[in-house]
């Protein structure tokens, strides 16, 4: 008689139940740096955070990392379809430094928001004015390269109904060993800041710096409703894939 192998155990060794919490906030005090404000909220993994920003002028100069699996939705008050009459303006202007021990010098660090594994960020109806204008060598850490950085697996970043005045490249970076999806939805405008000294600015890039490679970006946009000003480009690389959501075909 042939002996049967031991049956596999179908009893889990441990079990966790995740409860998704959704929280709503209103930001009306322009004295708060948005990065600092996000830190004060103490966002937990797998939470959904909705922030309505009241009309006014704000700044975002502190860096923040969104916890795994969380979702951050930011919307400007009373924004309208078209992206041209937004009541909320966010300035991004401070030059940050990242000291590299190997090179023995300060490098440029532009990051304001890190979007980690399975995390989602949606920003609607705001004007971004990014005037960092830092021409120093970029940080050797790929999460420090872009103003918005996607790192890890399955991170998502969405911009809609926004105007973006930018000075340095890239605005959005998918960092090393990461796979990120970027939605640039209807009526999004990019223009070069008047103080910018860069000839070319890329909206999206996949800079790995000194970190490992293997990163990839999928950019879903509309060539008809996404407006790139002079000197602003979508970078064409093998590991950046563009898809036109209205024509259902890949952009060449």
pLDDT in tens, 139-161: 777 777 889 999 888 899 999 99
Burial of 213 (0-12, 13-18, 19+ CB in 10 A): exposed
Q: Which two tokens stand for residue 56?
A: 């006014």
Q: Which two tokens stand for residue 69?
A: 């699996």
Average pLDDT over residues 216-243: 90
Q: What does the alpha-carbon distance between residue 222 and residue 169 come to, in Å, rounded to a whole number? A: 21
Identify the three-state secondary structure at position 222: coil
pLDDT, tens digit, 9 for 90 and up, residues 55-88: 999 999 999 999 999 999 999 999 999 888 999 9
Q: What does the alpha-carbon distance between residue 46 and residue 68 come to, in Å, rounded to a whole number? A: 7
Residues linked to residue 57 through DSSP beta bridges, in sequence order: 89
Average pLDDT over residues 191-195: 92
């Amino acid at each position: 008689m042939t002996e049967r192998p031991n049956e596999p155990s179908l009893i889990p060794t441990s079990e966790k139940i995740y409860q998704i919490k959704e929280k709503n906030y209103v930001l009306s005090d322009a004295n708060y740096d948005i990065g600092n404000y996000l830190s004060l909220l103490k966002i937990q993994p797998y939470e959904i955070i909705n922030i309505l920003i009241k009309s006014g002028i704000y700044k975002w100069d502190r860096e923040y990392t969104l916890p795994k699996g969380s979702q951050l939705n930011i919307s400007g008050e009373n924004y309208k379809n078209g992206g041209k009459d937004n009541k909320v303006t966010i300035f991004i202007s401070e030059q940050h430094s990242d000291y590299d021990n190997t090179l023995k010098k300060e490098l440029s660090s532009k990051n304001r928001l890190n979007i980690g594994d399975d995390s989602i960020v949606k920003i609607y109806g705001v004007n971004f004015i990014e005037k960092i204008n830092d021409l120093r060598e970029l940080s050797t850490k790929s999460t420090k390269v872009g103003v918005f950085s996607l790192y890890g697996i399955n991170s998502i970043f969405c911009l809609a109904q926004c105007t973006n005045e930018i000075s340095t490249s890239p605005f959005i970076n998918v960092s090393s060993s990461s796979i990120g999806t970027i939605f640039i939805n209807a009526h999004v405008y990019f223009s070069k800041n008047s103080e910018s000294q860069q000839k070319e600015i890329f909206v999206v890039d996949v800079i790995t710096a000194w970190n490992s490679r293997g990163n990839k970006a999928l950019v879903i946009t509309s060539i008809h409703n996404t407006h790139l000003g002079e000197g602003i480009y979508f970078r064409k690389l093998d590991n950046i894939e563009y898809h036109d959501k209205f024509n259902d075909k890949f952009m060449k």
